[in-house]
Amino acid sequence: MSEISDAAFIQPEDRDFSFLDPDAALTPAEVDRHMKMLNNELARAQMALRRVRYKEIRDYKEFCDARSPLLLEADCPVVSKSAGVTVAQRDEWIQERLPALWWTFQASKLVRISAEDYNTRLARQVRCIQSINANARQAYDIGGRHS
């Protein structure tokens, strides 16, 4: 099985990322700074997601290329209701013969799903910081301060 780099996983604890103090009274300028940081992180996460999607499709192609000849072998179970052979049984037969390629592809899928989850969490954080920004601007406008 090919090695999956830790860099493929996008984890916030591995980034230079600051968290907001729940008791902090943020100025609009401070909120803007956090919005820019989130925007940069979202851009990095989207680029990483693109890379892991390409890796997943390459791994899937490699698995399919090796799978195709197996489908033509005489020993390969033929899917049919009358014989009681399901697609799952046939796929299991193939996976037993190509375990490294199968698990490499499965690992690539997991990395892609994790990257998609991280992108979704970042997008939610952007919406939260936009709400905080609206509150901060309103508070500073009422008080007559602007930065």
CB atoms within 10 A of CB 83: 10
SS (H, E, C) the chain: CCCCCHHHCCCHHHCCCCCCCCCCCCCHHHHHHHHHHHHHHHHHHHHHHHHHHHHHHHHHHHHHHHHHHHHCCCCCCCCECCCCECHHHHHHHHHHHCHHHHHHHHHHHHHHHHHHHHHHHHHHHHHHHHHHHHHHHHHHHHHCCCC
> What's the pLDDT tens digit per position in 85-132?
999 999 999 999 999 999 999 999 999 999 999 999 999 988 888 888
pTM: 0.74
Condensed to tens digits (0 to 9), the pLDDT of residues 33-86 reads 888 888 899 999 999 999 999 999 999 999 999 999 999 999 999 999 998 999
